[in-house]
Amino acid sequence: MAAGFKTVEPLEYYRRFLKENCRPDGRELGEFRTTTVNIGSISTADGSALVKLGNTTVICGVKAEFAAPSTDAPDKGYVVPNVDLPPLCSSRFRSGPPGEEAQVASQFIADVIENSQIIQKEDLCISPGKLVWVLYCDLICLDYDGNILDACTFALLAALKNVQLPEVTINEETALAEVNLKKKSYLNIRTHPVATSFAVFDDTLLIVDPTGEEEHLATGTLTIVMDEEGKLCCLHKPGMFPPLQS
């Protein structure tokens, strides 16, 4: 009976719950889903983390490579994030080049890394002007059930904390890099940004950590990224159906 009503009038079905200040899965309006993290499971990657936010599952693998720095920033390394939303995570995505949502998520993660200064790019420098580290952070969504940005940020942070870089010395005679795989050190993570997403219902109600269905029924979403000192790193509000008064 309830399932029939939910199919025919999903918005009304949700409103009935929201009136009682709770949601169909039993959560309060301000409650997050159960979060689990699994760190370091992929041994071929230099750092990895798997995050499950309820049903939403994102895996992040970090691989470090050598690169030549750019001429206008000779002592800065690179951190290159990429979010992949493959067709296996949800039937709404199709195979082929990255769609809109994946590109927006990739850009969002790049902004978070840049704005929150999670890693000082100078820490990734091996030899100024000659050799720097580039960290390729690849995030793959395995199961899409809403709130992808929070899960990606969390997975990225956990994976970066797990990364171990070997010690590299430049041999002066041959000018070649020598990698000492026996001596590995963790990255220096300066801040810990955490993302929180909200969905706006009926222009008045804010709910935290929306599931896929809730995101679909909401009139808008909002994501805020803050670090542990209470500083705002990023605010992402991608449009809204009826414009709000300021």
How far is it, in rounded angstroms, from Cα 240 to Cα 91?
Answer: 25
| Greatest C-alpha distance within the chain | 79
How far is it, in rounded angstroms, from Cα 229 to Cα 227?
Answer: 6
Place of tokens 């790049």: 110
Q: Does 108 bind another protein (CB under 8 A)?
A: no
CB of 57 to another protein, least distance (A): 7
Compare residues 14 and 108 and give the one whose CB is closer to another protein. 14
How far is it, in rounded angstroms, from Cα 108 to Cα 121?
Answer: 18
Place of tokens 């009682």: 20
Lay out the site mask for another protein across 134-173 (x = CB under 8 A, - = otherwise): --x-x-x-xxxx----------------------------
Q: Does 204 bind another protein (CB under 8 A)?
A: no
How far is it, in rounded angstroms, from Cα 205 to Cα 144?
Answer: 23
User: Restricting to residues 24-43, which ones interact with another protein according to CB under 8 A?
Assistant: 41-43
Q: Does 65 bind another protein (CB under 8 A)?
A: yes
User: Restricting to residues 219-238, which ones interact with another protein according to CB under 8 A?
Assistant: none
Pairing of strands 56-67, 131-143: antiparallel
Indicate which single residue of 217, 222, 224, 240 sits in contact with another protein (rule: CB under 8 A): 217
8 A C-beta contact, residue 143 and residue 89: yes
Residues of this chain that bind another protein (CB under 8 A): 7, 9-11, 41-45, 48, 55, 57, 59, 61-63, 65, 82, 84, 86-96, 100, 136, 138, 140, 142-145, 212-213, 216-217
